[in-house]
Amino acid sequence: MSEKISEKKIGEVILDVKNITLKFGGVNALTDISFNVKEHEIRAIIGPNGAGKSSMLNCINGVYRPQIGSITFRGQTFSHMDSHQVATMGIGRTFQNLALFKGMSVLDNIMTGRNLKIKSNILQQAFRNPWGIGPAEREEIMHREAVERIIDFLEIQAYRKTPVGQLPYGLQKRVDLGRALAMEPQVLLLDEPMAGMNVEEKQDMCRFVLDVNDEFGTTVVLIEHDMGVVMDISDRVVVLDYGKKIGDGTPDDVRNNEDVISAYLGTSH
């Protein structure tokens, strides 16, 4: 695993987070957080429970609007963005608490990730051409082919027509990843993709994350509690504690950082 990461070519900064402060009422969820993400890297955000990790992802993908700071994506700087704008620009997201459509099939759930790419309007989709394949039909075939490739990639062909609610939790997490991949994101935000998984499921998900990064060239920003996983697959790690940044660097840098060691041992406060 480590050998594969060391051989890969990391690009220039694609996402730059500067001086982000997020407040809820009088409480600071994040205080003056700055870090960057380079193209093609796997960038981990770690920290104890309540450190502000998910809040940080929510600022990046437009769910929360920070009171202070800015986010620069591919040279464009924003004080805040809305979720639709972020998705259109090429930032995809999975969620810690699965937000799948439980009654819909695996294929249809992943297909929802193509919504932003569908160019035909509702009327074109509703009224099919009786004399042959029209633009709407051709577009749907193209999108379904893209979804089928993702289903093959995630090795869930046997479940493509199964309602997601009937799948084991680990497979539901794969579907969530598939829906995000269907957007063809340049940057993929993963919020605890391995939470609640057994060892075998974690190994599978690690492999998929590495393959997404390697084969698709997708930049990955990852929140994960399993330190073994983080240290194994990440290129760089930023560490939060009580909404403040206490470490940033390579896995080895972070592993030897006294502030990080103290925070994880519960002696930082």
- Phi and psi torsions of 84, nearest 5°: -65, -40
Residue given tokens 């929510």 in the structure block: 58
Pairwise CA distance, residues 52 & 192, whole Å: 13
In whole angstroms, give the CA distance from residue 114 to residue 258.
Answer: 45
Report d(CA 109, CA 130) in Å as an integer: 28
List beta partners, residue 46.
239
Smallest CA-to-CA distance from 148 within 122, 124, 181, 120 is with 181
Q: What is the dihedral of CA 261, 263, 266, 269, to 10 degrees?
A: 130
Q: Which of 185, 240, 228 is closest to 45 using CA atoms?
A: 240
Q: Per-domain residue ranges for the chain?
A: 1-90+186-269, 104-184
Degrees, nearest 5: CA angle 186-83-52: 85
Q: Structure pTM?
A: 0.85
Q: pLDDT digit of tens for each residue in the chain (269 aa)?
A: 333 444 678 999 999 999 999 999 889 999 999 999 999 999 999 998 889 999 999 999 999 999 999 999 999 998 877 888 898 899 999 877 777 889 999 999 999 988 765 554 444 444 455 555 556 667 778 888 889 999 999 999 999 999 999 999 999 999 999 999 999 999 999 999 998 889 999 999 999 999 999 999 999 999 988 888 899 999 999 999 999 999 999 999 998 999 998 887 654 44
Amino acid identity at 116: L
Give ∠ CA 142-148-153 in degrees, rounded to 5: 130
CATH number for 1-90+186-269: choose from 3.50.50.60, 1.10.3470.10, 3.40.50.300, 3.30.70.100: 3.40.50.300
